[in-house]
């Protein structure tokens, strides 16, 4: 079975990217490039889901992310 989980990549000031999966609190990783960060979070998600299944925890729904911008007066 294939599932999709939204992830958030943030550039780090010292270089590289941090990445997290909001649907799975505590599931995060990093990488020097976008590609590496995505590969690393994919592995982290797989390990998190395996751990949750072993403990009998329900797997939260994934689904597409909604990304938008908010403009504020600065």
CA–CA distance, 70 with 73 (Å, rounded to integer): 10
Segment 27-33 shows an average pLDDT of: 97
**Residue 64's pLDDT band (boundaries 50, 70, 90)?**
confident
1-74: CATH topology is Double Stranded RNA Binding Domain (3.30.160)
CA–CA distance, 68 with 74 (Å, rounded to integer): 19
Segment 11-19 shows an average pLDDT of: 97
3-class state of residue 64 by DSSP: coil
Domain ranges (residues) in the chain = 1-74
Segment 18-35 shows an average pLDDT of: 95
- What was the pLDDT predicted at 40? 98
Task: Please say whether the dihedral angle defined by the alpha carbons of residues 34, 18, 58 and 51, taken in this order, is positive or negative.
Answer: positive
Which pTM does this prediction carry? Answer: 0.84
């Amino acid at each position: 079975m294939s599932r999709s989980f939204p992830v958030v990549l943030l550039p780090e000031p010292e270089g590289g990217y941090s990445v997290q999966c909001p649907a799975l609190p505590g599931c995060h990783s990093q990488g020097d490039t976008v590609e590496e960060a995505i590969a690393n979070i994919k592995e982290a998600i797989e390990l998190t889901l395996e751990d949750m299944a072993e403990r009998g925890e329900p797997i939260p729904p994934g689904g597409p992310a909604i990304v938008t911008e908010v403009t504020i007066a600065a």
